[in-house]
Every structure is written in C-alpha cells, then in structure tokens.
Amino acid sequence: MKYKDYYQILGLGRDASEEAIKKAYRRLARKYHPDVSKESGAEEHFKEVSEAYEVLRDAEKRDAYDQLGHNWQGGQDFRPPPGWQGGPRAHPGGAGFSSRDFSDFFESLFGRGGGFSGMGSFTDQGIGGFATAGQDQTVALEISLEEAYHGGSRSVQLQTPERDPSGRVTSRTRTLNVKIPAGVTNGQKIRLTGQGNAGQGGGPSGDLYLEVSIKPHHWYKVRSRDIILELPLTPWEAALGCKIEAPTLGGPVTLNIPANAQNSQKLRLRGRGLPGNPPGDQLVTLRIVNPPADSEAARELFQRMERELPFNPRAHWH
C-alpha cells in the first residue's frame, strides 16, 4: 500500500488554512471532473482530489492524518503504526456513494465509507454535489479627474451569464450603483464583494473588480496622487514677481510667483493633489509666454528692450 500525501495532491503546505483547502479543492475539482475535463486520467485525479479534501476539510481526520508525521513521501510503502486508531471512523455518504471512491490508504486509516457523495455530475448544482464559488469579474470604469478627487457614484451595467430553464447559457444585463471613493488613482481596482458571477450548488458569488482609468484633463496631468499644472506667465510677471490665482481640484488658491522666476521652474502646493494617506501634491510648472509682436508699437517696445536690457541667454556657450 502506498502513502498518499494529501497536501501535495492539493498543492498545499501543511500549514494551509481551511479557506485555502476549500479553494484548492474547488479549482482542482473543476479541472479534473470527468464530465467536463479533457485531461488524461481525469477520473483518477478527481478521486484523489476528493479523497484529499475529505480528510483535510475535517479537523479530526486532518489531526489524525497529521499524527503520521511529516517525513512520509507520496508513493512510499506504508503500513499504519501498531495500535493506530485513526481518528473518527468514516461512514458512507449520500446518494451515489461507492466505497471504491476511497483508496486502500484511506480505508487503512479511517475505515470504509467516506462522507462525500461519489462522482456526481457537472451541473448547476455544482461538482459532485459540492458547492463551488463563482468566478470573479473585472470591468473597466472610466471616470473624470474631478470624480477621482471628490468621489461620487456611478451606474454600471454588466452582462452576467446565467442558465435558462432549458440549461442553455444566456446573458442578462444588470445595473449596479457604484460608490467611487475620493482619492481613487489610475489603475486602482475597486472591489465589490459578491457581485461577480454566481456560484454553483449554493456556493458564494465571486467578486466584481472595477479597474479605474482617469480621463485626460484639459488643464491637469496626473502622476500617482500628484496633480501637475502648467501655469502661463508674461515676461514681466516672471521678472518682477506677482500673485496669481491658480486653479486646483479643491478650488483656486493664491500663488506667489518669486521675482526672476524662470521658465520650467516648479512650485509645489502640498496636499493639493488627490486625497489619500498621505495626500498628493499639486506641482505647478511655470511657462513664460511672450506677447506677439504683431503691431508697430509692439515691435518698437521689443526693440527698446533689446537696446536698454542687453541680455544674452546663450552667453554660457562661450
């Protein structure tokens, strides 16, 4: 008789939680169920997976199995230790049960029977009579930058697969009112628990993830939680310094422009970016814009500046 490593069969470590055991079983049961699987040896794999789950899902059986120690390897020759009691003795399960669904190894530890209802079939009632969780869904959600800053709500329409009375898969449209949290960032996912695809056999529904993308804005650019604004200035505003009312997502603020400000110089408004912990900043990039020389008076003024303010911005090249 060969030793069976139930943890290895489910792809788990010996410290696996109850929830991890359930998830591993559901995934492998879907993969190997002979009603739907095209895998080689699917039926035998399914029996192994079901047997492993039968032991590890039951606290008493798992504790008894763990008493065998951690040194056994799957496939090694095995005999129960002398005086082995094996924890709770199993008893036959529900309809469709066959004692052949258990290995000799299982029966040597827990006796005949099992507590799961045989192979079953792959239907809306789940796999082999077990409940299976629904799949998660991910849906793109495009929002404005103002919505990302203030938060808000949206109505989202989803196409949800479901079976009609004849067993055919159809698509149903459902509408959800979604709350957008203030400070959501580009690429962030909003999780809506239980709003994904429906489970089978009474299993829980999956989760719905809304993957956020922020629309381009006509003034601002976004970098993580920071907001970037380009602020145009006249040459005299930059040279002399001034106070400018600058826009932010939270409302206008007065910005002090220092004298002799340079083109591409950056000023920082702390905490004026997207909300968060910590919040982002607003970064203001100065851009000096020359007035057009489109009249005789304007040309004369520029010529006067050329004469009276001799300045060579390329002097450092020499």
- Domain edges within the chain: 6-127, 137-214, 220-308
Region 233-250 average pLDDT: 96
| For range 282-308, the mean pLDDT | 94
What confidence category does residue 84 fall into, taking pLDDT thresholds of 50, 70 and 90?
Answer: low
pLDDT above 70 as % of the chain: 80
Question: Tell me: the pLDDT tens digits for 246-279?
Answer: 999 999 999 999 999 999 999 999 999 999 999 9
Q: What does the pLDDT read at residue 116? A: 42
Q: What is the pLDDT of residues 123-160, one digit of tens each?
A: 444 444 455 677 788 999 999 999 999 999 999 888 87
Output the pLDDT for position 244: 95
CATH number attached to the domain at 137-214: 2.60.260.20
Give the pLDDT of residue 77.
74
How confident is the model at residue 71, as a pLDDT? 67
**pLDDT, the chain, mean:** 83
Does the pLDDT at position 118 exceed 50? no
User: CA 182 to CA 275: how far, in whole Å?
Assistant: 6
The confidence band for 103, taking pLDDT boundaries of 50, 70 and 90, is confident
Q: Which residue has the tokens 């968060």?
A: 276
Q: Which fold has domain 220-308?
A: HSP40/DNAj peptide-binding domain (2.60.260)
Q: Could you tell me whether strands 282-288 and 266-269 are parallel, antiparallel, or unpaired per DSSP bridges?
A: antiparallel
Confidence tier at 167 by pLDDT (50, 70, 90): low
Alpha-carbon distance of 28 to 46, in angstroms, equals 8
Task: Tell me the fold of 6-127.
Answer: Helix Hairpins (1.10.287)
Q: Which of 68-77, 147-156, 163-172 has the highest mean pLDDT?
A: 147-156
Q: Does the structure show a pLDDT above 50 at 97? A: no
How many other C-beta atoms are found inside a 10 Å radius of the C-beta of residue 91?
Answer: 12
Of 111-115, 147-151, 166-170, 203-207, which gets the smallest average pLDDT?
Answer: 111-115
Question: Looking at residue 288, what is its pLDDT?
Answer: 96
Pick the closest to residue 187 from 255, 140, 133 (CA basis).
140
> Alpha carbon of 82 to those of 3, 6, 79, 109, 277: distances in Å?
16, 22, 9, 12, 61
Say yes or no to pLDDT of 310 above 80: yes
Q: What is the percent of the chain with per-residue pLDDT over 90, rounded to a whole number?
A: 46
User: For residue 140, which phi and psi values (nearest 5 degrees)?
Assistant: -75, 140
Q: Mean pLDDT over residues 9-16, rounded?
A: 91
Q: What does the pLDDT read at residue 93?
A: 40
Tell which residue, 227, 242, 32, has the closest CA to residue 120.
32
| Residue 199: pLDDT over 50 | yes
Residue 111 has pLDDT above 60, yes or no: yes
Higher pLDDT, 86 or 294: 294
Would 137-214 and 220-308 be classified into the same CATH topology?
yes
Q: Does the pLDDT value for residue 27 go beyond 80?
A: yes
Predicted confidence (pLDDT) at residue 169 exceeds the cutoff of 70: no
Question: Has residue 31 got a pLDDT over 80?
Answer: yes
What is the pTM for the complete model shown? 0.56
pLDDT at site 236: 95
